[in-house]
Amino acid sequence: MKAKKSFLLVLFLFWGMIVLNTAWASEAPPHTTAVRGKPVPEKVLSREPREVRVFLKAQFFGFYELGKLSFWGPVCTGAKGHETPRGKFRVLLKARRYFSMEWGGAAMPYSVQFTAGGHFLHVGEIRPKPSSHGCVRLREEDAVRIFRTVKSRDPIIITD
């Protein structure tokens, strides 16, 4: 009987360690590359010094340096009828303070333009589903970091 209790105690402790470790991993702060199960790939095939990849289905972006994930965060992309274009683009323009010429002068802080048609990465409200007019909305801290890090002609890849 004593051996059975010892076995159950060890089993219970082992199970508790697994549960606690899983909980701690899921509570890790965003942008930590050590988090298991992050919504973006840890590495991508790239020869570029820097690139931003937006994953439409996941509604997250990854910022990569030499193909290795540097930081990541949530996005809000184009709603139905205003879809964010898919493809490989380049940084065309950066503007700390920019106002939309198409959408009533809406403020678009820390804008990074990636299409000639007026699509940008910029600070904006992050909603649970795509709801922008085609731009990629970012949290302010992410937009500032991307704005300060990307250079003209760096790639921005929009993919499923």
Averaged confidence pLDDT in the chain: 84
For the chain, which residues make up each domain, given as ranges? 1-30, 50-159
What integer pLDDT is reported at residue 19 of this predicted model? 30
- Helix H or strand E segment including 16: helix 2-26
| Domain 50-159 coded CATH 2.40.440.10 | yes
Mean pLDDT of 118-146: 97
Percent of the chain with pLDDT over 90: 74
Q: Bin 105: left if φ > 0, else alpha if -120 < ψ < 50, else beta.
A: left
Mean pLDDT of 138-148: 98
Question: Tokens 């051996």 map to which residue?
Answer: 3
